[in-house]
Amino acid sequence: MENLLGQKDAIMAGTLTGTWAPDEPHQWIAADDIGRFVALAIEQPDEWVGRTAVVAGDELTGLQAATDLALAFGVAVSYKQVPPAEGMPAPRPAEPGSPAPQKADIAWLRERIPDLKTLTEWALAQR
């Protein structure tokens, strides 16, 4: 979520940009929630040692994220898909037979940390 701070002025001016399609779900995590999972791993090594977990606190499309940011900041915000930045490699299609990208199991994660931040909650704290 903190990656959005780099475009806060643009969001406040009405546009959230991203490289994903407007209706493609995108998972979000606040930096301090990442730290909370690190703390859990230290406090509960029997549950976490040797386990890999993809973490997220919310899953929204670009259009939904723009709506949530608009509500949190009190300004109209629309989502605009943009090509990857110059110098950034374009996404490559998956190789045939390769596993799908992993997604966080947000329900499972919320069993461990029930108050993971949603994008709206995070944005409200940025005002």
Each residue's pLDDT tens digit, 23-36? 999 999 999 999 99
Task: Tell me the pLDDT tens digit for each residue of 73-114.
Answer: 999 999 999 988 766 666 677 788 888 778 999 999 999 999
Mean pLDDT value across residues 51-60: 94
Residue 115 lies in a domain: yes
> How far lies 122's CA from each of 1, 2, 115, 126, in Å?
7, 9, 11, 7
Residue 88: its H or E element: none
Token pair for 15: 């546009």
Residue 95 lies in a domain: no
Residue 50 lies in a domain: yes
E strand residue ranges, the chain: 15-18, 26-28, 58-60, 78-81
For residue 80, the cross-strand partners are 17
Residue 29 lies in a domain: yes
Residue 19 lies in a domain: yes
Residue 18 lies in a domain: yes
Residue 92 lies in a domain: no
Return the DSSP state at 25: -
**Number of compact structural domains in the chain:** 1
Token pair for 68: 């949530």
Find the domain containing 35 and state its range.
2-84+102-126
Strands 26-28 and 58-60: antiparallel
Token pair for 30: 């606040």
What is the CATH classification number for the domain harbouring 17? 3.40.50.720
Residue 16 lies in a domain: yes
